[in-house]
């Protein structure tokens, strides 16, 4: 669900793009979002894209993060049997079709952002979380949080990541030529619109 703040800015959260962390940081800076008439306020902001804040993530990294998160929680439910390996998992998602994938982690980011990037108030990247969030604060004319808070989630060098993918490039170790191509096929629009590469 989107979050509309007192300054009129709206965070459009996308699953596995640090949306919880972004929400918490913005809450600290701007106060809790206005929940009153949230749906109506979001509809109004949708037509005023200059209020919208969005962060995107490399599809290969994002989908792997969703897989690892799901696998972690699945392992706690042993009655469901062993969790499939990543290759089989991706093949099943491709067979189902992106619209029928059971978790938000596997929905295309493109489907969340069906508006020109240039029209958004702020467009950031998960891979540059610290610097981009600092730029966002500057654009809103507010003081950013202390850098130690950022480093808890994603250090400035991008060498670590709380979700276990190993930062912005560590995901590559999880992929074969086959699984790399599956992501290319499923998330072609994300790759093209947000100019990502493996």
What are the residue ranges spanned by the domains of the chain? Answer: 3-193
Where is average pLDDT lowest: 93-97, 134-138, 171-175?
93-97
> Which is more confidently placed, 197 or 3?
197
CA distance 9 to 170: 33
For a pLDDT cut of 70, what percent of the chain falls above it?
A: 72
For a pLDDT cut of 90, what percent of the chain falls above it?
A: 33
At residue 116, the pLDDT reads 87
At residue 79, the pLDDT reads 56
Tokens representing residue 129 in the block: 């979380």
Does the pLDDT value for residue 66 go beyond 80?
A: yes
At residue 45, the pLDDT reads 53
The answer to whether the beta carbons of residues 150 and 130 sit under 8 Å apart is: yes
């Amino acid at each position: 669900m989107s979050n509309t703040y007192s300054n009129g800015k709206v965070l459009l959260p996308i699953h596995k793009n640090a949306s919880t962390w972004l929400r918490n940081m913005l809450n600290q800076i701007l106060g809790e979002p206005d929940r009153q008439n949230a749906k109506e306020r979001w509809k109004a902001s949708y037509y005023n894209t200059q209020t919208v804040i969005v962060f995107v993530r490399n599809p290969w990294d994002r989908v792997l993060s969703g897989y690892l998160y799901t696998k972690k929680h699945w392992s706690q439910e042993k009655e469901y049997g062993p969790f499939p390996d990543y290759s089989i998992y991706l093949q099943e998602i491709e067979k189902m079709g992106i619209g029928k994938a059971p978790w938000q982690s596997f929905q295309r980011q493109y489907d969340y952002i069906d508006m020109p990037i240039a029209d958004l108030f702020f467009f950031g990247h998960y891979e540059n979380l610290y610097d981009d969030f600092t730029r966002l604060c500057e654009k809103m004319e507010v003081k950013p949080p202390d850098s130690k808070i950022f480093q808890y989630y994603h250090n400035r060098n991008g060498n670590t990541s709380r979700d276990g993918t190993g930062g912005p490039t560590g995901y590559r170790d999880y992929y074969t030529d086959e699984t790399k191509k599956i992501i290319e096929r499923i998330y072609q629009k994300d790759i093209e619109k947000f100019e990502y590469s493996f």
